[in-house]
Amino acid sequence: MRFSLLFAIICVWASQDVFGATSSTKTTAKSTTTKTTTTKTTKTTTITQSATSTCVATAYADIANVKKCSVITIQGPFTVPSNQVIDLTSLVTGAVVNFRGVITFAHGTLSKSNFLVTISGSSVTVDGTGSLLDGNGQLYWDGLGGNGGVPKPKMVKLSIKSGSVKNLHIVRAPVHCFSIGSSNLVVSGTTIDNRDPLDYLGHNTDAFDISSSTNVHVTGSTVHNQDDCLAAGNKSNNVTFSDTYCSGGH
């Protein structure tokens, strides 16, 4: 009996000396809980990063947050505030940009050195099926175009290396609809309507201005405007223009 009691006392003393007090055991339990929580947080972060590869902007304020996504949908209806632009420059390689719904640009004081929409990147696909981009050109048109009068921003600038732009529908560009400086780009199924009831105030509403470009093909489009349907030059080569209807300009 004395031997058993002495053995029990030695065991208790040894356990306290090696493992610490009871509170130390609780600390060990907390440490285990912390590790479990860390594991869960890591999994959640991974899921979030995966989800952000496809992004939807339903208001102008959302656009800056989706530029680095691989699939971007700009979903109208909404209005871009006065003197603000849609900046989709330096997109990730292989990005897909979808325009949907009506997107209206409020009247402002931006000049022709500005573009209401700018898109740049490599292997970029732009799809405007079901969209309408309204530049509110009738609020700018004064018969002088880019040669004077009130300041007028240009509509769309494309700086794309290998890609396609299809089915964009643009109405009332203040001045110059598409300004293209790209390579290996196909623009197809585009509708441009810059008609003015007075048939002369929308001066310089060129449909496609192409410069510093190589292997650009514009096809299957419809244009109603009051100036050039196509203007190509300035260090461009292998530009083709086919199956496109032009009316009101030259």
Give me the active site residues, please: 227, 250
- The answer to whether 69 and 54 have CB atoms below 8 angstroms apart is yes
CA distance 15 to 201: 95
- What Å distances lie between residue 242 and 88, 110, 129, 227, 239, CA to CA? 28, 33, 20, 18, 10
3-state helix, strand and coil shares in percent for the chain, rounded to the nearest 5: 25, 40, 35
Question: Considering only CA atoms, which of 146, 185, 181, 145 is closest in space to residue 163?
Answer: 185
CA distance 60 to 39: 36
* Tokens of residue 20, six digits: 């610490």
